Amino acid sequence: MEVDLALVMPVYNEEDCIVAVMREWTTMLSRLGIRYQMIVLNDGSKDRTAARLAECSGDSHVQVIDKGNAGHGPTVLQGYRLAVDRAIWAFQCDSDNEMPADHFPELWARREHYDALFGTRTDRVQTLPRKIVSAASRITVRILFGPGVVDVNTPYRLMRCSVLKQIIEQIPEDTFAPNVIISGAFAKAAVPIWNHPVPHQPRRTGVSMMQWKLCKSAAKSFWQTLSCRPRLDLRRIERATAVRRSAA
């Protein structure tokens, strides 16, 4: 049965907070009366994350996938590929609780007027290398795809699955930062997009990426973004929307 929402949550070494974060989201989605499935992908965590996730195995709304380590980007893409075949909407958030569930209702309430709704991170404290990487990603997307998305790599995004499916079909599985390319594809197609400020809070658990790895990964993301420019067939989207409405 198709659900309203598939929430995609990649996880890596988050034993200290993952259960609390998942419960925060399941409580919020249940309160909103949403038919949902949470797809949690454990990307080869080396701590006790797998054991903590096993504590949530009794929840029928939650699917936990334990997999070998592939990195954040390929893991997110795997979740999206599952989500687009199960739900009307896909929402991706990270498992570190830097962007809490409190602001999700504002995105959900406006969804029928848009094809993508992005949480723009505010109050974000970044190191200089991260500021440079974020600015470079934003400028690259603007030049290649046009304006439309303020925070191109935000891990807080609600997307219509009929549109998202077309985009991810054109993105290689090993892409480091697929969310940047996805943001660009939405902007290029000029579909309705809403950007909403969401406060960003500092990470309290886990470990951030080392600066030298960040710069290396940013270079890889830049070249992948240059070479991958998904195109959307808007007539296909309209047909999928019509079929869904007639079946409702």
Sheet containing 62-67: give its strands across.
62-67, 36-43, 3-11, 87-93, 156-160, 116-122, 193-199
Domain ranges in the chain? Answer: 3-247
CB environment 194-221: b (16+ within 10 A), e (fewer): bbbebebeeeeebeeeeeeebeebbeeb
**For the whole model, what pTM was predicted?**
0.85
Q: Mean pLDDT for each 10-residue chunk of the chain (248 residues)? A: 94 94 96 98 96 89 96 96 98 92 96 96 66 66 77 95 96 92 92 93 57 57 72 73 60
pLDDT for 230: 86
Angle value at C-alpha 90, between 85 and 91, nearest 5 degrees: 150
CB atoms within 10 A of CB 66: 15
* Distance between CA atoms of residues 5 and 158, nearest Å: 9
CB atoms within 10 A of CB 112: 8
pLDDT for 97: 84
Right CATH for 3-247 from 3.20.20.140, 2.60.120.10, 3.90.550.10, 3.90.1170.50: 3.90.550.10
